[in-house]
Structure 1
Amino acid sequence: MVSEIGVTMDVFPTAKHLCSWAGLTPTNNESAGKKKSVRVSRAGVYIKLLLVQCATAVVKSEKHPEIRNRYLRLKKRRGHKRAIIVIARMLLTAIYHILKNLKKKEPYNPELYQKSDVLPVSREIRVDQAILLAKSQGFKIMMPVTSVT
């Protein structure tokens, strides 16, 4: 990793710039209102492969449940490949912050990622939102039967 991106993070203003340089961001190919491909870019040939392998290993391991839980939630909605790319980007962002704060000697803090796993206590949605959610999960919506007297 260090041989690819270096030790000083002065080259990259933010972690998003580093992720874009490594090719872990979706491309934007849109012309005349038509969206074409949203695959990840072809940049960062070597570092992207390394991060995907690391993400696959971390997901299988039980040492970091915050990463594994996020992968499992993403895999349900987006599929395995996209979830692995998200985890690889998450790892690269963590590496960026570790290298950025190298002088301060701040270690990796898993609590930052565990906070995003916690769902809000009171979750409320409107009826139309619930119907759309049920339809998106494959349920057939039927009107309630009313009795006429």
Structure 2
Amino acid sequence: FPTAKHLCSWAGLTPTNNESAGKEKSVRISRAGCYIKPLLVQCATAVVKSEKHPEIRNRYLRLKKRRGHKRAIIAIARMLLTAIYHILKKKEPYNPELYKKSDVLPVNREITVEQAILLAKSQGFRVMAVTTT
């Protein structure tokens, strides 16, 4: 596989849009997905219950709040498959430090007024000038 995304797609671990205008689309699983996907889901479930890899458990807990248990488990399974891909391709051991960095928020979180206005506009807010009399 040229990239980890191709491998995840082949295994059936990529997010899909199964519904459009109320019509169900095909949810066909690739041939590999019927074997690899359940195995990775079981591995992901075991890893998030374990205390051995807190970086994966923390990621699962954050995802579960926003997306729910099933989607969070699929995301963790995709993360595991991506890690396996890179371990095999680069011939390097697993490095948990790569996942711990994303858990820690920056200490100094400041933005300028212009950046705040652009952020608010990108979120769909209408920014109005305040007039004082």
TM-score, normalization by structure 2:
0.71
- Percent identical among aligned pairs is 90
Match of 1:21 in 2: 10
Deviation at 1:26? 1.7
CA 1:96–1:137: 2 relative to 1, 3 Å: same
- 8 Å contact 2:45–2:73 — kept in the other structure? yes
Contact in 1 for aligned 2:19/2:25 (Cα 8 Å): yes
1:28 Cα offset (Å): 4.2
CA deviations over 1:74-120 (Å, ceiling 9, x no partner) = 1111110000000000000000001xxx4864110000000111112
How has the CA–CA distance of structure 1 residues 140 and 53 changed in structure 2, closer, same or farther, with 3 Å as cutoff? farther
Gap change, CA 1:146 and 1:85, over 3 Å in 2: same
Counterpart CA distance in 1 for 2:38 and 2:23 is 30
- When the two chains are superposed, the root-mean-square deviation of aligned CA atoms in Å is 5.2
Task: Quote the Cα distance in structure 2 between the aligned partners of 1:40 and 1:115.
Answer: 33
Mark the CA change 1:88 to 1:138 in structure 2 (over 3 Å): closer, same or farther: same
Work out whether residues 63 and 72 of structure 2, in 8 Å CA contact, stay in contact via their aligned partners in 1.
yes
Give the SS at the match of 2:89. Answer: coil
Q: What 5-or-longer segments of structure 1 have no aligned partner?
A: 1-11
Q: Which runs of 5+ in 2 are unaligned?
A: none
1:115 to 89, 93, 101: 101
Equivalent residue number for residue 31 of structure 2:
42
CA distance in 2, matches of 1:124, 1:136: 18
Deviation at 1:46, TM superposition (A): 0.6
How many residue pairs get aligned? The number is 133
